Amino acid sequence: MSNLLPLPGFCFDPSDYELLNFLLRKINDKPLPVCPRMPDANIYGDHPSQVFDSFGQSDFEEEDTVRYFFTELQPVSKKKGVITKNVIRRVGGYGYWKNAVPKPIMVKNNQGEYVKVGSRTSLKFIKDEAIVDDHVEWSMIEISTHDSNWVLCKITKKILKQVSNKRQLQCQETSSSIISTNSATTTVADDGVQGNAFLSKLINLDFDEPFGFVFNN
């Protein structure tokens, strides 16, 4: 199982429902996909570049590079048994992750009613003024549940255009040939049928079923 690799042209593009499913597996100590890796990381303690570099990030990757990490939020306070999660997510002396209002992840049950099963929060990394501009933009999607401090973070590294063009020129100078491949994207439609299937998995928490990269109806 550990030797399995995706086919050439494979694009891991999970929906919010699938990401929430992976988070539930993490929380319940169940197996996770081998590829891509979803390691634990201190997202809100280290600069995003440090998080990427610690897992072998290359300087010559595509402009938009996406990686997935699990991190555990530190509770600010507890009110009537409900954990209040961080609102301002400082990253040492580097800056902070500015977050928008969380949006609910909803699925439709068999009665046609929409049920909240998790939350999706969009964040953007804001550098401190004293930090030298590295011409990289960082954004993140944070998937969470209401009853756990564990979250799944989808982080995107975007190299700004002027730096990207320079790196492309360097790659061309060091490469004798360029091989072009057509990339296939794997996506899943979010309809009511899938919502029922996902809700059923949430309710039953049947984590012993086989799973892969695509959420099966």
Q: What DSSP string describes 41-86? A: --TTTS-HHHHHHTTT--TTS-SEEEEEEEEEPPP-EEETTEEEPP
* Between 129 and 85, residue with greater pLDDT: 129
- Is residue 158 a contact partner of residue 139, using CB atoms and an 8 Å limit? yes
Average pLDDT for 176-184: 36
Can you tell me the distance from the alpha carbon of 199 to that of 112, in angstroms, rounded to the nearest whole number? 12
CATH number of the domain enclosing 147:
2.170.150.80
**Pick the residue with more confidence: 54 or 77?**
54
Mean pLDDT of the chain: 71
In a domain, 213, yes or no: no
pLDDT, tens digit (0-9, with 9 covering 90-100), for 13-66 = 789 999 999 999 999 999 887 767 789 998 888 888 888 877 764 444 445 588
Domain count, the chain: 1
Q: Choose between 38 and 206: higher pLDDT.
A: 38
Cis ω for the linkage preceding 36 (within 30 of 0)? yes
pLDDT at residue 183 tops 80: no
On whether residue 90 sits in a domain, the answer given is: yes
Cβ atoms of 193 and 217 within 8 Å: the answer is: yes
Does any domain span residue 9? no
Kindly state whether residue 44 falls inside one of the protein's structural domains.
yes
* Residue 7 belongs to a domain: no
Residue 176, C-beta contacts closer than 8 angstroms, at least 6 positions apart:
none
Selected residue with higher pLDDT from 24 and 206: 24
- Is 96 within the bounds of a domain? yes
Q: What is the pTM of this model?
A: 0.65
In a domain, 3, yes or no: no
pLDDT on residue 104: 94
What domain range includes position 25?
16-204
62 part of a folded domain:
yes
The whole-number pLDDT of residue 61 equals: 47
Taking the CA atoms of residue 127, residue 132, residue 138 and residue 140 in that order, the dihedral angle to the nearest 10 degrees is -30
